Amino acid sequence: MNHRMHIPAPYVHPIYTDKRIDTPVGINAPLPVQIIARNPDGSYGVPNTTNAPVFNVGNPVRIRTADVLLVATIIVTADANRDLLQSTSTELPTLDGCGQYRKLVWFYFRAAADATTYRVLARATDHNGAPLGTGWQEIVPATQLSGGANSWGRIEIPASGDGYYDQYRIEVRRTDGSNYALTSKIVGVR
Q: What is the pLDDT of residue 41?
A: 72
Q: Name which of 40-44, 80-84, 94-98, 104-108 the model is least confident about.
A: 40-44
Reply yes or no on whether the pLDDT at 26 is more than 70. Answer: no
pLDDT (average), residues 35-55 = 58
Domains of the chain (ranges; CATH) run: 1-63 (no CATH), 66-189 (2.60.120)
Position 34 pLDDT exceeds 70: no
Write out pLDDT tens, residues 54-72: 555 556 666 668 999 999 9
Q: Could you tell me if 100 and 167 are in contact, meaning their C-beta atoms sit under 8 angstroms apart?
A: no
**pTM greater than the 0.85 cutoff:** no
16 or 121, greater pLDDT: 121
Q: What is the 3-state secondary structure (H, E, C) of the chain?
A: CCCCECCCHHHCCCCCCCCCCCCCCECCECCCCCECEECCCCCEECCCCCCCCCCCCCCCCCCCCEEEEEEEEEEECCCCCCECCCCCCCCCCCEECCCCCCEEEEEEEECCCCCEEEEEEEECECCCCCECCCCCEEEEEEEECCCCCCEEEEEEECCCCCCCCCEEEEEEEECCCCCEEEEEEEEEEC
Indicate the pLDDT class of residue 11, thresholds 50, 70 and 90.
very low
Q: Evaluate if residue 46 carries a pLDDT over 90.
A: no
Q: What's the confidence (pLDDT) of residue 12?
A: 45
* pLDDT at residue 42 greater than cutoff 50: yes
Residue 19 has pLDDT above 60, yes or no: no
CB of 84 within 8 A of CB of 185?
no
Q: What is the mean pLDDT of the chain?
A: 81
DSSP letter for 29, please: B
* Percent of the residues in the chain that have a pLDDT greater than 90, as a whole number: 61
pLDDT(39) > 80? no
